[in-house]
Amino acid sequence: GAGVSQSPRYKVAKRGQDVALRCDPISGHVSLFWYQQALGQGPEFLTYFQNEAQLDKSGLPSDRFFAERPEGSVSTLKIQRTQQEDSAVYLCASSFTGGYMNTEAFFGQGTRLTVV
Amino acid sequence: KNQVEQSPQSLIILEGKNCTLQCNYTVSPFSNLRWYKQDTGRGPVSLTIMTFSENTKSNGRYTATLDADTKQSSLHITASQLSDSASYICVVEYGGATNKLIFGTGTLLAVQP
């Protein structure tokens, strides 16, 4: 596709439920990033992939958060046993080169997760 | 701690007026500074990218400045339009082992007719 695509756009989960968020980056983009954006805040870094390798997962808030990109294209962010504080917009971004290296990073529209 | 702070938090201006948004950062090592526009319910869209050697960059009615010595940046919007209503986020790319983007909390701009 022409841009970064994320699905679903909206997800309502009951507390304790597992969720999976999908990101389709721009074709050919090497780098993929996940960010968490709480209401009224700027996005905060979660994790970074270069192709299929997860090079940085320092931003994942707990071991309930897991991300993968097995074939170096589509990525999935999984949250186990969701809690109310997980409610946020989850943004995915991709860029052509490894790391940002002054190149454009393109963001998807995000998945708004609400945990009730 | 690597941080990006923006001011004001929110701003209301009349259509056609100019405005300037401020950004201070403490990120080190520094790679570049970006300004993004985020419309409600959308992902951020890049407006400008500046390295430490650039002190001004324009994109249409948007002009960004950077003072790498004082670690300050500004985004000036000229002749504002209703469609400029959005959150403007200052983002610094961390130049360490992993090039991650560190986001400010944004300035929410409302342009009124």
DSSP secondary structure letters along B75-111: EEE-S--GGG-EEEEEEEEE-SSS--EEE---EEEEE
Give yes or no for a contact between B62 and B35, defined as CB atoms under 8 angstroms apart: yes
What mean pLDDT, rounded, does chain B reach?
92
Residue A13 has pLDDT above 70, yes or no: yes
Tens of pLDDT, residues A95-115: 887 655 567 889 999 999 999
Q: What is the pLDDT of residue A93?
A: 94
Residue B109 has pLDDT above 60, yes or no: yes
If you average pLDDT over each of A55-59, B62-66, B94-98, which comes out highest? B62-66
Instruction: Please state whether beta strands B10-14 and B107-112 pair in parallel, antiparallel, or not at all (unpaired).
Output: parallel
Q: What is the pLDDT of residue B55?
A: 92
With bands split at pLDDT 50, 70 and 90, how would you rate the model's confidence at A1?
low
Residue B36 has pLDDT above 60, yes or no: yes
Question: How much of chain A, in percent, has pLDDT values that exceed 70?
Answer: 95
Q: What is the pLDDT of residue A98?
A: 62
- A-chain CB neighbours of B4 within 8 Å are 42
Q: What is the pLDDT of residue B16?
A: 97
Q: What is the pLDDT of residue B97?
A: 66
- B-chain CB neighbours of A58 within 8 Å are 98
From residue B38, alpha-carbon distances to A37, B88, B109 in Å are: 12, 6, 10
Cross-strand bridge partners of residue B34: B49, B91
Tens of pLDDT, residues B54-74: 999 999 999 999 999 999 999
The shortest CB-CB distance from A109 to any of B43, B49, B51 is to B43
Q: What is the pLDDT of residue A44?
A: 92
The shortest CB-CB distance from A41 to any of B42, B43, B105 is to B105
